[in-house]
Structure 1
């Protein structure tokens, strides 16, 4: 019974976190950097905007055509049933062809466009993706060529390495373009704002992986190109570390605190409509701190410092 209740809470909080992210991003909507529908970003990289703007996707999903020759690799596919995006993709391709597709993670704004794209290209092209470890069979699994961390895809003028970076989702991968020392970051790092995550512990590890790659430029899944990658990734890490320090400080000298006690202490300037999302952030931090043995859960949802 307790397990079922906690599953229900997890589901409710997850929905709340999603709504919080929508609320926060909608407040940013007037400040977003404009993006062209089609942008030639480098000799081998063209961005095609997914035509799916929303408070969750910012101005839309960034999809990328990579390669200097007639054969292109497409990174992510946008959402389903968006004819304007397909028209733009065909315009960006010209006489070129999509030779393969790389998927950064399972979210619908990154995989939804696969069936529509297959209608305008060879239906037998490989679609590379890292397998989700959290479910047995995922949607469209029959279309995927599942690969492992470090898998390399080559096309004219481009060597692309898929690197597992779980956290935002547990199947998340970034793609490193070796010739340009460029990183396609998916939703691990965004061009504007901060990302949400399923698991903070693995997400922080993934941010450190990105730092170790030392890319010269980042092409994110949403938002503008990141021209100072080290600064942006460090900013993400610093933000999470500051929040963690606040949580640890809350627990100092206390016999115990619940996750909501901590939320009320850390997030003092938010209204009730977004507090459930803040609670989800706190619970993610607590889960990370438990794994690091910095705190103990002495009973159900009661935490103390070690």
Structure 2
């Protein structure tokens, strides 16, 4: 049974979690946003979704009760449930600086922010210091091209955004990049992990290792399906229905996207061939569909 996340939780002397009040299949109980620091001027990591009055009220209450100001908002990535609430925070809570990593040149999707919000762009390795906290930006592409995690020096902790969740596993745009990012997080050897969704991960190394093993296991499952019927051409959804037997049907489309990313990686590895819509195991490397 999933643990219940309260609307506001003081997680440590320097971290207050405010739940985004935007529950859903992909957001779990909602987006976790975090107020960081011990002094007057603090940093907000992520801002939830747009037009969620309860979240803004909860954040205003924290700012008032703690007698603080928000100096910066750092967005882990461009998805609406992390960046959408920025405009409401800036308008109703604090007119603070907004930071995020730029997206890749190949990614032409628009940022879901109004024109009057001026975004300052991060670079990997950038540091933010406020009283009681030092945050370092680590680029972790895969979930999105612009995804970052934040390393909190004082706790040897990671704010993992959507790279690693408190419950379940994450979706991604590029599996090759995502696996490299997971390996980089593993090397950081964090003591604790504060995810973008779900509860705090107090023993993160087994969770990170599980994510890596899970993706490797999925790849093996996909190859097994293709190898069992080498003459059959499979769609992503055909494969989902065979290997995602414990996943609710309303999540099968998301699972099919993940399967597609696995198949793209296997295509690069020259282990499968494709017609563009269907996939087949390569029984002979020189063969083609």
Task: Note whether the superposition's TM-score is higher than 0.5.
Answer: yes
Provide, for residues 3-46 of structure 1, a one-character-per-residue CA deviation record: whole Å limited to 9, x for no partner. xxxxxxxxxxxxxxxxxxxxxxxxxxxx3211122111111111
Q: Which residue in the other structure is 2:172 paired with?
A: 197
Distance 1:75 1:273 in 2: 30
Change over 3 Å in CA distance of 1:242–1:68 after alignment to 2: same
Q: Secondary structure at the match of 1:160?
A: strand
Structure with a larger share of its residues in helix:
1
Q: Report the alpha carbon displacement of residue 179 of structure 1 after superposing the two structures with TM.
A: 1.3
Instruction: Give unmatched runs, 5+ long, in structure 1.
Output: 1-30
Q: Report the alpha carbon displacement of residue 103 of structure 1 after superposing the two structures with TM.
A: 0.1
Q: Which residue in the other structure is 1:227 paired with?
A: 202
Distance 1:139 1:278 in 2: 25
Q: Secondary structure at the match of 2:18?
A: strand
Higher relative contact order (CA 8 A, sep 6+): 1
Q: Which residue in the other structure is 2:69 paired with?
A: 97
Compute the RMSD of aligned alpha carbons: 2.4
Q: Which residue in the other structure is 2:259 paired with?
A: 282
Matches within 5 A, 1:57-76: 57-76=27-46
2:233 to 258, 272, 278: 258
2:47 to 77, 89, 104: 77
Distance 1:39 1:273 in 2: 31
Q: Report the alpha carbon displacement of residue 248 of structure 1 after superposing the two structures with TM.
A: 2.2
Q: Is the 8 A contact 1:67 1:156 kept in 2?
A: yes
Number of residue pairs matched?
A: 274
Q: Which residue in the other structure is 1:138 paired with?
A: 111
Change over 3 Å in CA distance of 1:243–1:118 after alignment to 2: same
Q: Which residue in the other structure is 1:14 paired with?
A: none
Q: Which residue in the other structure is 1:40 paired with?
A: 10
Distance 1:182 1:241 in 2: 26
Q: Secondary structure at the match of 1:222?
A: coil
Q: Which residue in the other structure is 1:171 paired with?
A: 146
Q: Secondary structure at the match of 1:244?
A: helix
Q: Secondary structure at the match of 1:179?
A: coil
- TM-score of the aligned structures, taking structure 2 as reference length: 0.85
Q: Report the alpha carbon displacement of residue 241 of structure 1 after superposing the two structures with TM.
A: 1.0
The worse-fitting range, judged by mean Cα deviation, of 246-255 and 165-174 is 246-255
Provide, for residues 68-93 of structure 1, a one-character-per-residue CA deviation record: whole Å limited to 9, x for no partner. 11110000011122222222112222
1:187 to 144, 162, 166: 162
Distance 1:84 1:225 in 2: 22
Change over 3 Å in CA distance of 1:136–1:87 after alignment to 2: closer
The worse-fitting range, judged by mean Cα deviation, of 69-78 and 168-177 is 168-177
Distance 1:55 1:136 in 2: 23
Q: Secondary structure at the match of 1:81?
A: coil
Change over 3 Å in CA distance of 1:206–1:120 after alignment to 2: same
Change over 3 Å in CA distance of 1:271–1:100 after alignment to 2: closer
Q: Secondary structure at the match of 2:154?
A: helix
Change over 3 Å in CA distance of 1:138–1:271 after alignment to 2: closer
Change over 3 Å in CA distance of 1:245–1:63 after alignment to 2: same
Instruction: Give unmatched runs, 5+ long, in structure 2.
Output: none
